[in-house]
């Protein structure tokens, strides 16, 4: 599994702002981010198990609550 592109914070904020301007809610973006991370974890560790997600304050922490 490789990375397609590494984004700066400013670029990611611009992408998120454009998505929200097109009607995608912040909650939907968080849901998608959390689902993508969960999918990547399942690819790496396919056997079901338990995981702990530590979430800090702010918008970035919301992705972990999915």
The whole-number pLDDT of residue 57 equals: 75
Q: Bin 19: left if φ > 0, else alpha if -120 < ψ < 50, else beta.
A: alpha
Q: For residues 40 and 42, what is the distance between their CA atoms, to the nearest angstrom?
A: 5
Q: For residues 54 and 56, what is the distance between their CA atoms, to the nearest angstrom?
A: 7
Asked whether residue 1 carries a pLDDT value surpassing 80, the answer given is: no
More confident residue, 12 or 3: 12
The domain ranges of the chain are: 9-65
pLDDT one-digit tens code per residue, 7-63? 898 998 899 999 999 999 999 998 998 888 888 888 999 887 888 888 877 766 777
Mean pLDDT of the chain, nearest integer: 85
More confident residue, 35 or 66: 35
């Amino acid at each position: 599994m490789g990375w397609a592109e590494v984004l700066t914070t400013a670029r990611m904020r611009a992408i998120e702002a454009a998505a929200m301007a097109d009607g995608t809610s912040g909650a939907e973006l968080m849901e998608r981010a959390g689902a993508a991370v969960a999918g990547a974890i399942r690819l790496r560790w396919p056997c079901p198990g338990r995981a702990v997600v530590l979430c800090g304050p702010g918008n970035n922490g919301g992705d972990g609550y999915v």
